[in-house]
Amino acid sequence: MHVHHPSSAAVRALAFILAFALFAPHLLGAQTPATDTTRAPHADSASQRSDTAAHRLAPVTVTVAPAEQTAPVSAVHVSAAVIRQTPARNPYDLLRQTAGVEIHEQGQGPGFASDASLRGFSSDHATDLALWIDGVPVNEPVNGHSEGYNDWNVLFPGGVQDIDVIRGPTSALFGNFALAGVVNVRTLERMRGTEVTASGGSFGRAEAMVLTGFDHGARGGGVIGARFQREDGFRPNSGYDISQGHARVVHDLSTTTRIDGGVELYGGDWRSPGFLSEDEFTRGQYDVVSNPTDGGSKRRAQERVSLRVLDGNLLWRSTVYATQSRWQLFLTIPPAGGQFEGTGSQTEEIDDRDGYGATTALTLFHDRGDVTVGGESRWDDSHYHNWFSTARQRDSVQALVTGQQLSGALFVQSSTRLGERLRLDAGARLDALRTRSLPANDASASDTHGIFSPKVGAIYQMSSALSAFANVSRGFRSPDGIIMDPSLALITEWSSEGGVKLARGGVSASATLFRSDVSNEQTFNPVTLETTAGGASRRQGLELDWRIPLPAPRAIVAAFSGDWTFNDARYRSLTAVAEDGGGPAQVLDGLRVFNTSKYVGLSALDIGAASGRWLLRADAVFNGPYSPFDEPGVVLPGYGFLNLSGQLQVGRTELDAGIRNVFSRRYPEVVAGGLYSPGEPRMLRLTVRVRT
């Protein structure tokens, strides 16, 4: 039963109204894309005028603007074409194969969020990465399973225009959970006609999607889609199904004002095979099932309305949004000495929540650049349950708590050209978070935390092709367990990077040295739910990325691309609780950060027809030696696997075929306390897409 107070609804509404009133007293603009992302060109001059002026914004100045080569940040851009042809099993795997993100899939169902890591941030359930879809944040604050729980399966793949992965806390527009960086998703604003997609593959995979839209020029445009996917899974008791809905509609109210609305709907049900012992994994005994009643379900919806006003050199944009989510999971973990889980008993967890938010920003364009000032506010109300259970029947309660968080921020971001060669980006955020914990059978507690996060970066054009850049920034995120103890201090980070970028004749490349120093470091075991905090760590390393056109006959285009991160992530000072809850503590000073690899890399070869009628792609994904959870000093061997895909256009029909993990390489996705979640063996996929 949820814990409610008689006046909680009124207090919540009043708090949200006051917070938004502070940051957006006039609500005149829209937090919408700086450039229109469409499959059909604009015909009206009003739309063209808006697009041209808005495009002057720097990529770190608008939440959903695309990254640029001329920005002093390290970022990877993933296009819609690459998204379509990649034989990925889910959005996590998609970013692993296209953007060099380190991924460790939990393997317990699609709504059981997996791990995504950048620059050595272990990011359990992707909590150190901020995910935004069209200006709406997806990370879940005050979550009892892990703070910032981040389920990427809400992404509607057919509706995605492109994705930017921004490394580090470099942008003043992203606050909580952007320690490692940001995954920034933009969806299609409009399209013409209808697209029907059917896909099938290994392990009983079947998928169907319908995407339709319209483009009426100045009168507006839109995209509406529905999708269903099911799979039996490569292990017994691992089947699942996913249903999704997506809609976005834009309309020009006048030559200066545009309204933009969007909805994302997602539901999934799954069964969980559980984890394997080291011996079972080594022998390839993937048919072991911990408990046939393990599994879960996830439901999420998010709605957004944005308004944008462009008048001369002023652009005002604002967004209001609402989110609703409920997930329930049953999971059995062998005894591992953790909190709530790891006892050998099945546990049931429920997170039931809703949230509201708003952003507003005013941008002034001037001869040498632009400056943006704005604010945001967010309210989240979550109800977390944790029970011991037997075959999905509750035995005893472990935790019943309501968590509430009201957050707000003021930010400023500017981009200025100083002469012909130098560009300076500077900004800052001032964040405040008020968290309240309401346990079912205990006194409530609340606390407030504030943090100031400056950002500064510069890029110098050494020649027409070569530039050097550097930036320093501060980032933060809420700590795990804040739903139970609001007094826990924020995790903070100082991050710096410097490098060079090359862009000439179709060649693009960059090399970046980075370092991050973290205070109030935590380590979290996703299997046992054991959290250790109060330490310090540092991440440092080198990132390389490139795209090089290759010599080819006149009718052929070819390119070689890659994205590699070499990383040294170590605890500077951290003492973890002993695994059995007693005995000597584990001193982690100088050891590698859990759940990270020494390097992660992606290399790809693309060959296609200049006409676009066909395309072949081969890419290889590599993970270096890996430091598993709760095994200090242990480093597991690295691994890699090859993926092949092809695309053929025949009239209005497109055929896509792909093979993931061609040689069926055996590898561990997650290792924790001697328990393994195995990676998927060879997977084949065939897709037919018809456009009308």
DSSP string across 366-385: ETTEEEEEEEEEEEEEEEEE
Rounded to whole angstroms, the Cα distance separating 623 from 640 reads 6
Whether residue 290 has pLDDT greater than 80: yes
Residue 161: how many CA atoms within 13 Å on its side-chain side? 22
Write the pLDDT tens digit of every residue in 92-145: 999 998 888 999 999 999 999 999 999 998 778 999 999 999 999 999 999 999
pLDDT band per the 50, 70, 90 thresholds, residue 417: very high
What confidence category does residue 411 fall into, taking pLDDT thresholds of 50, 70 and 90?
very high
In this model, does residue 80 exceed pLDDT 90?
A: no
Cα–Cα distance list, 211 to 190, 219, 267, 478 (Å): 11, 20, 18, 37
pLDDT score at 525: 56
Burial category of 318 from C-beta neighbours within 10 Å (exposed 0-12, middle 13-18, buried 19 and up): buried
Instruction: Let me know if 426 is exposed, middle or buried by CB neighbors in 10 A (0-12, 13-18, 19+).
Output: middle
Whether the predicted pLDDT of 45 surpasses 80: no
* Residue 172 pLDDT grade (very low, low, confident, very high; cuts 50, 70, 90): very high
**Per-residue pLDDT reduced to its tens digit, 597-654:** 999 999 999 999 999 899 999 999 999 999 988 788 899 999 999 999 999 999 999 9
Nearest to 260 by CA among 199, 187, 193: 187
**Residue-wise pLDDT tens digits, 175-228:** 999 999 999 999 999 999 999 999 999 999 999 999 999 999 888 999 999 999
Q: Name the residue among 624, 648, 643 with its Cα closest to residue 635.
A: 624
Supply the pTM of this predicted model.
Answer: 0.87
Average pLDDT over residues 356-367: 96
Report whether 133 contacts 160 (CB < 8 A): no
What is the 8-class DSSP label of residue 528?
Answer: T
Compute CA distances 61 → 236, 254, 364, 431, 473, whole Å: 48, 24, 11, 17, 15
| CA 72 – CA 509 distance, rounded (Å) | 14
**In terms of pLDDT, which residue wins out, 7 or 691?**
691
> How many Å apart are CA 35 and CA 580, to the nearest integer?
54
pLDDT of 501-558, one tens digit each? Answer: 999 989 999 999 999 999 998 776 555 556 667 789 999 999 999 999 999 999 999 9
pLDDT at 519: 94
Weakest-pLDDT range from 33-37, 587-591, 674-678: 33-37
Query: What's the pLDDT score for residue 577?
Result: 60
DSSP symbols for 329-342:
EEEE------SSSS
Predicted pLDDT of residue 552: 92
The single-letter DSSP state of residue 281 is H
Question: Mean pLDDT, to the nearest integer, of 308-323?
Answer: 96
Cα separation, 601 vs 606, in Å, equals 17
3-state SS class at 658 = strand
Strand order from edge to edge, sheet including 675-678: 276-277, 675-678, 668-672
Distance from C-alpha of 111 to C-alpha of 126, rounded to nearest angstrom: 13
Residue 172: closest CA among 64, 67, 60, 59? 60
What is the DSSP code (8-state) at residue 82?
Answer: H
**pLDDT of amino acid 292:** 95
Enumerate the β-bridge partners of residue 472: 456, 496
High-pLDDT (> 70) share of the chain, %:
86
Q: Among 55-69, 280-294, 343-357, 492-506, which is the least confidently predicted range?
A: 55-69
C-alpha 355, offset from chain centre: 18
Residue 73 confidence class, pLDDT cut points 50, 70, 90: confident
In which residue are the tokens 């109210």 written? 253
Strand partners, 275: none
Percent of the chain with pLDDT over 90: 74
Ranges of beta strands (E only) in 54-159 are: 75-79, 102-104, 115-117, 129-133, 136-137
Q: How far is Cα of residue 89 from the mean position of the Cα atoms in its chain?
A: 16
Helix (H, G, I), strand (E, B) or coil at 159: helix
Spatial separation of the C-alpha atoms in residues 483 and 54, rounded to whole Å: 40
Residue 422 vs residue 441, higher pLDDT? 422
d(CA 618, CA 603): 8
pLDDT at 219: 86
Dihedral angle of Cα 92, 94, 98, 104, to the nearest 10 degrees: 30
d(C-alpha 200, C-alpha 197), whole Å: 10
**How many Å apart are CA 242 and CA 403, to the nearest integer?**
28
pLDDT for residue 26 is more than 70: no
Q: What is the mean pLDDT of the chain?
A: 86
| pLDDT beyond 60 at 154 | yes
C-alpha to C-alpha distance for 128 and 180, rounded to whole angstroms: 6
Burial (CB count within 10 angstroms: exposed 0-12, middle 13-18, buried 19+), residue 660: buried
pLDDT exceeds cutoff 80 at 20: no
| CA gap 424, 418 in Å, rounded | 7
Measured in whole angstroms, how far is the alpha carbon of residue 58 from the centre of its chain?
Answer: 21
Q: Which of 239, 136, 144 is nearest to 482 (CA)?
A: 144
Q: What are phi and psi of 54, to 5 degrees?
A: -65, -30
d(CA 327, CA 90): 18
pLDDT confidence band for 343 (50 / 70 / 90): low
Beta bridge partners of 576: 586
Under the banding of pLDDT at 50, 70 and 90, the label for residue 87 is confident
β-pair type (445-461, 466-477): antiparallel
Question: Which residues, in sequence order, are bridge partners of residue 389?
Answer: 346, 394
